[in-house]
Amino acid sequence: MLMMTLYQFPISHFCEKVRWALDYKHIDYQKKNLIPGLHTMKTKKLAARSSVPVLVHDEKVIQGSSSILTYLDETFAERRLSPENASLKEDALEWEKYVDKEIGIHVRRCCYHILLEHPDIVIRFFAQDGPWYGKIFLSFMFPKLRTKMRDLMTINAESAQISRERLGAAIDRIHAHLQKHKFLTGDQFSRADLAAAALLAPLCRPEKYGLHWPDHIPAQLQELTDEFREKTKWVLDVYDKFR
Ligand SMILES: N[C@@H](CCC(=O)N[C@@H](CS)C(=O)NCC(=O)O)C(=O)O
């Protein structure tokens, strides 16, 4: 088998979906950590859009966490993450689509609204295990990058408040489901559980996420974690059992 390469950001929870899937399926791969702001030079050369994750395998290039999970299951049948049964598979994909939109986007907006005002922490996250020039580039360019990120992802006080409410609604929905069921889809761990847990992980900060969490978390981020703590306990449980 040719080497598999994941182009990614360690901080990205969409990339964590893919790291988790690769590890879960015991697939050997190498990570190429890109620097936010410089990443487009690589991603746009490889794929249609600028975003990570991008997986390169046997000359094939797959972009987007959901497409990558599908590709991995189609290429490596062992330890499937997509249920084999057609209607369960559809259900898992539906859940994944829901959490990508209702958790992925809103967790990111809420967290960045806080973290972008803590350049020391963010620069360390962005440069982690990346090229040697990452920290230098980021310390010069951070103010510009922050403005661009706030602009591109519509991150401001008002949108962050709306995202917090949307996030609360999605967490409530999953919590209610998990009161009655062990898993989001059927009676087995699937890409639905993986996606929901990975995308909520920045709030719960499990060790296996792949980011060196700082000892000191900004108070506002801790408040966000605390607000949802009770209803996201299952995330750490899923990490313990399946990550
Ligand atoms: N739906 C996409 C979302 C990926 C995404 O939003 N990636 C972000 C990092 S979390 C990114 O690469 N942003 C920079 C860019 O789009 O150029 C997926 O599931 O892969």
Going by C-alpha positions, the residue among 207, 204, 205 that lies closest to residue 229 is: 204
Confidence of residue 2 (pLDDT cuts 50, 70, 90): low
The answer to whether residues 97 and 206 belong to one domain is yes
Out of 54, 75, 96, a domain closes at: 75
**Predicted pLDDT of residue 104:** 98
Distance 12 CA to ligand 1 centre (A): 8
Q: Is 118 helix (H, G, I), strand (E, B) or coil?
A: coil
**Predicted pLDDT of residue 1:** 55
Confidence of residue 215 (pLDDT cuts 50, 70, 90): confident
Q: In 81-190, which residue ranges form alpha helices assigned H by DSSP? A: 86-99, 105-115, 119-127, 134-152, 157-180
Confidence of residue 3 (pLDDT cuts 50, 70, 90): confident
**Predicted pLDDT of residue 87:** 97
Q: Is residue 80 part of a domain?
A: no
Condensed to tens digits (0 to 9), the pLDDT of residues 149-207 reads 999 999 999 999 999 999 999 999 999 999 999 999 999 999 999 999 999 999 999 99
Mean pLDDT of the chain, nearest integer: 96
Q: ∠ CA(42), CA(43), CA(44), 5° rounding?
A: 95
- Cβ of residue 38 lying under 6 Å from some atom of ligand 1: no
The answer to whether residues 60 and 91 belong to one domain is no
Range of the domain at 38: 4-75
- Cβ of residue 50 lying under 6 Å from some atom of ligand 1: yes
Q: Is residue 81 part of a domain?
A: no
The answer to whether residues 68 and 91 belong to one domain is no
Distance 51 CA to ligand 1 centre (A): 4
* Mean of pLDDT values over 139-153: 96
> Into how many domains does the chain fold?
2
Q: Is residue 114 part of a domain?
A: yes
- Cβ of residue 65 lying under 6 Å from some atom of ligand 1: yes
Out of 75, 101, 127, a domain closes at: 75
The answer to whether residues 22 and 66 belong to one domain is yes
CATH number for position 51: 3.40.30.10
The answer to whether residues 25 and 48 belong to one domain is yes
Q: Residues 34, 52: contact at Cβ < 8 Å?
A: yes
- For a mutational test of ligand 1's pocket, the pick from 7, 52, 98, i.e. the residue with the most ligand atoms closer than 8 A to its C-beta, is 52
CATH number for position 158: 1.20.1050.10
CA distance 181 to 188: 10
The answer to whether residues 174 and 218 belong to one domain is yes
The answer to whether residues 109 and 213 belong to one domain is yes
* Mean of pLDDT values over 91-119: 98
Distance 221 CA to ligand 1 centre (A): 21
The answer to whether residues 118 and 202 belong to one domain is yes
Angle between helices 86-99 and 191-204 (to 10 degrees): 20
Residues 6+ positions from 72 with CB-CB distance below 8 Å? 21, 22, 25, 27, 81
CA distance 53 to 40: 12
CA distance 135 to 124: 7
- Cβ of residue 14 lying under 6 Å from some atom of ligand 1: yes
